[in-house]
Structure 1
Amino acid sequence: MIRCHLARLMGERKMRISDVMRETGLSRTTVTLLYKETALKVDLEALDKLCELFNCPLSDLLEQVPN
């Protein structure tokens, strides 16, 4: 199972979904699905933009955990 830590990263920086949308150019749907951890697939460009925004490696955003 892949866990997405977008909600935690946003909380640490007191960011809202609209802030992430504005800063990255990603759609509300993409950000919301990642925030709620309901996304079934993610575009690599979206992951790159989020890592750039939060100045973090991909491993800080996504984590594989045992089922």
Structure 2
Amino acid sequence: MAIRIHISEWLGKKKWTQKQLSEITGIRPATISALYHETIKRIEIEQINELCKAFNCQPGDLMTYVPDEEYTPEQK
């Protein structure tokens, strides 16, 4: 299984940089980078809350589940 994280798409929609998102949300730049590159292993509920506030979205808009049989590394 893989959880796809859509931070890069949201940054593109808003035309924000990772640094700007970090400043808006108060989330460390390294964490934003890990989210952007989908290498993060764990995310706190408060971080999801801050991202939803910044992007004016629902938690489900930030990530999707991809079953193992449908996941390929190229999707990253």
Alignment TM class, shorter chain as reference: over 0.9
Give the match's secondary structure for 1:48: helix
Larger radius of gyration: 2
TM-score, structure 1 as length reference: 0.96
Q: Deviations over 1:12-54 (max 9, x none)?
A: 1110011001101110111000000000111111111001100
Aligned residues: 67
For 2:16, the equivalent position in structure 1 comes to: 15
Q: CA RMSD in A?
A: 0.6
Give ranges in structure 2 of 5+ residues lacking alignment: 69-76
Q: What is the CA-CA distance between 1:62 and the residue it aligns to?
A: 1.0
Runs of 4+ in 1 over 3 A off after TM superposition: none
Question: Does 2:7 match 1:6?
Answer: yes
Give the match's secondary structure for 2:4: strand
Give the match's secondary structure for 1:38: coil
Give ranges in structure 1 of 5+ residues lacking alignment: none
TM-score, structure 2 as length reference: 0.85
Q: What is the CA-CA distance between 1:66 and the residue it aligns to?
A: 1.0
Question: Does 2:34 match 1:36?
Answer: no
